[in-house]
Amino acid sequence: MAPTCSVNLHECLDLVTRLSRQAGKLIRTRIRQKKTIETKATSIDFVTETDQEVEKMLIEGIRQKYPTHKFIGEESFAAGIKEKLTSEPTWVIDPVDGTTNFVHGYPNVCISIGLVVDCEAQLGVIFNPILDMFFRAIKGEGAYLNDEPITVSSSKCLSDSLVSVEHGSIRTDEFRSIVSHNIGYFAKHAHGIRSGGSAAWNLAMVAKGACDLYVEMGLHAWDMAAGNIIVREAGGVVIDPAGGEFQLMNRRILAASSKELANEIPSNLKQYYPEHD
């Protein structure tokens, strides 16, 4: 029998649903206003006051109910609070995934919250408050968009697929040349390519069956913790872009509608291995 999770996942989901809807109101108001922008790791890795405020709201709200739980949050990490992933229940949070979209008023902006227990994804929530799209999954219970069940598409090969890619925020020549090569490969062989500007959004689109494949190298655990479980619960496959097992802290992801499609991709990609967080 599969081991049961030590936390009550339905109570956790109720809590983060309430908190994300509350935080979503702030994002909806602020997207129309002038923002104060700072940069982090690179000149195009942005943070705004809203990212910081939303992360604080979420962490404080969760901590009130679960004082012993751990947190890996994008903005706490940037501020020097660098928690490692352990077997303890850990909330992995991106308060505004798609910060560049948020800065420009482009509507692909998501709150992304994943809960990992014993190093295994148990729950994920992705909320786009601008488009009012709320994606959620609990391990073993399927994936939902606004309370309707969702499933991945039936695509089994690249030549039938729509692919999400990102240019990311790393600016080195090596990285740019690898990304350009991989995007060129998809552009040549797929139905089309899209760039949502939010990893969480891209993963939600694979889960919803609106896109068949998403590959990115150089993102972070908070960009993909929720999407990883939502794609799997929608019947999709999540692996490392080189073909091995997906590792949340390795900063690389390949999410696909099927095993066949996932397996077709790795040998055709140039690989980039970012430094671990």
Count the Cβ atoms, other than its own, within 10 Å of residue 125.
26
Quote the tokens at residue 52.
Answer: 């910081």
Residue 223 binds ligand IPD (CB under 6 A) = yes
CA trace torsion 103, 105, 107, 113 (10° rounding): 30
Distance between CA atoms of 62 and 38, rounded to whole angstroms? 26
Stretch in the footprint of ligand IPD (CB under 6 A) among 23-31, 134-142, 192-200, 238-246: 192-200
Q: Residues 24, 73, 89, 98: which binds ligand IPD (CB under 6 A)?
A: 98
Annotate each residue in 57-86 with x if it binds ligand IPD (CB under 6 A) or - if it does not, as one string: -----------------x------------
Residues with Cβ within 8 Å of 126's Cβ and at least 6 positions away in sequence, in order, are 97, 110, 111, 112, 113, 134, 135, 136, 200, 201, 203, 204, 226, 227, 230
Question: Strands 133-138, 120-128: parallel, antiparallel or unpaired by DSSP?
Answer: antiparallel
Residue 168 binds ligand IPD (CB under 6 A) = yes
Residue 212 binds ligand IPD (CB under 6 A) = no
Instruction: Spell out a b/e string for 80-102, using b for 16 or more CB atoms within 10 Å of the CB, else e.
Output: eeebebeeebbbbbbbbbbbbbb
Q: Residues 206, 219, 229, 238: which binds ligand IPD (CB under 6 A)?
A: 219
Stretch in the footprint of ligand IPD (CB under 6 A) among 4-12, 95-103, 132-140, 143-151: 95-103
Quote the tokens at residue 263.
Answer: 């397996």
For ligand IPD (CB under 6 A), the number of binding residues is 17
Residue 264 binds ligand IPD (CB under 6 A) = no
Stretch in the footprint of ligand IPD (CB under 6 A) among 75-83, 118-126, 161-169, 231-239: 161-169
- Considering the complex, state which of residue 5 and residue 269 has its C-beta at the smaller distance from ligand IPD: 269
Q: Residues 99, 128, 161, 228: which binds ligand IPD (CB under 6 A)?
A: 99
Residue 197 binds ligand IPD (CB under 6 A) = yes
- The CB-nearest residue to ligand IPD is 166
Stretch in the footprint of ligand IPD (CB under 6 A) among 120-128, 182-190, 218-226, 266-274: 218-226
Residue 213 binds ligand IPD (CB under 6 A) = no
In the complex, which residues of this chain contact ligand IPD (CB under 6 A)? 74, 94, 97-100, 166, 168-169, 197-199, 216, 218-220, 223
